[in-house]
Amino acid sequence: MTQVNPFIPILLNETLGDYRLTESITSDGAFGLIFKAIDTVANREVAIKVLQPATSSPEDAFEFRREGQLLRELAKARGVVDIYASSETTITVHGPGNIPFPLPIKYHVLELAQGTLQDIAEHCDNISWAEKLQLWRGAVLGVHQMHLSSIAHRDLKTGNCLLFSRPKRQTDCKVADLGRSRNWKEPAAFMPEIYLRGRGDLRFAPPEFLLGQGREGAEAHRLADLYGLGSLLFELGVGVGLTQFVLNLDPSGVREIIQNANRGIEIEPSSLLTTYQEAFDFFSESLPVCIKTDAVRLLNRICNPCPSNRLPVSGTGKRGVRGSGLEWLIRRADIMVKKANQNASVRPKVAAVQGV
């Protein structure tokens, strides 16, 4: 059903600078192709993200370049995927009649992940909540570090969070795919309608952006990312996209949204409160009792369709929620991880006793 991108066979086994592409990791992408590669100098495996040659638009090229720039700014952030290098090269490709022609290639060299959080979401029933929450905490940490550097992600979904195996059977989750990201201290390159023009996955987009009502400014970006983190948690619980679960959008719905946005007509997101609560009730079915209340309450807060209600008003500790970081959310994640771990450690004992 899915067509293989024609550039994948062309690029496979090619050498870009010091890197020999050995395996295609994704069959398709919005504007990038990902390959596993061997760094022939350092003799290690890396991931190469290649900007789709020839077919990418100037906007894609801009976003690709900016992704590299933002990843370099976030080099010290351990919750964000590491970039080793960005480069350009030209390879020779043979066209019809075996005529050779040059093909310019732009690429980033990234640390190689062992999977994505989407793999977990797609098999959410096989993984314990303690593990899922630990991974989610990694994503929260990544976004927190991005926010401290005034960078908003704007396209959070499990497919954009990478998993890395660490010693002692530990797995880290890092935020990746910063193509839609931007530094909010710099002028905007695109308007909020970016979401309506096919630049994000509508299944996970914050409702205010989806409805063409996104605002400029640091606060709006932070609150949108907060929704994205809640949406990640929802995905980890039930596997599907929160926004699409609530809005059930089809092309006619999207047409209406675009028409309204064109006319400058705005819909109040508070109108969606009840349907969001239904989604949270659905989500709660996936949770163990020990974290049910905490997780649903948290989701109610950070995925509130009204962006201004996404920050907690109390109970956030001495430092509160002021500033641009998400320490308070990391603490919440820690508490839930602890509760889920305690629950996990109790359960086998009970099972053993029953077995005896």
Among 167, 250, 289, 313, binds another protein (CB under 8 A): 250
CA angle in degrees (0–180, nearest 5) for 187-190-108: 85
Spacing of C-alpha 156 from chain mean position: 3
CA angle 311, 300, 324 (to 5 degrees): 20
301 binds another protein (CB under 8 A): no
What is the closest distance, in whole angstroms, from the C-beta atom of residue 235 to another protein in the complex?
8
* Site for another protein contains 277 (CB under 8 A): yes
Query: Measured from the CB of residue 84, what is the shortest distance to another protein in angstroms?
Result: 26
Strands of the 44-51 sheet, one edge to the other:
15-16, 19-24, 32-39, 44-51, 100-111, 83-94
Question: Nearest approach, Cβ of 92 to another protein (angstroms)?
Answer: 29
Q: Which residue in the set 179, 207, 214, 228 belongs to the binding site for another protein (CB under 8 A)?
A: 214
Q: Is the Cα torsion angle 289, 295, 296, 297 positive or negative in sign?
A: positive
What would the x/- binding string for another protein be over residues 102 to 141, using CB under 8 A?
Answer: ----------------x--xxxxx----------------
Number of residues that bind another protein (CB under 8 A): 65
| C-alpha–C-alpha distance, residues 99 and 217, integer Å | 51
Cβ proximity to another protein: between 130 and 196 the closer is 196
Say how many CA atoms lie within 13 Å of 28 toward its Cβ. Answer: 6
Is residue 25 a contact point for another protein (CB under 8 A)?
A: no
Q: Spell out the SS3 assignment of 136-184.
A: HHHHHHHHHHHHHCCEECCCCCHHHEEEEEECCCEEEEEECCCCCCEEC
Q: Answer yes or no whether residue 347 interacts with another protein by CB under 8 A.
A: no
23 near another protein, judged by CB under 8 A: no
Binding site for another protein (CB under 8 A): 1-3, 27-30, 118, 121-125, 191-193, 196-199, 201-203, 212-214, 238-241, 244-251, 254-256, 258-275, 277-278, 281-282, 285-286
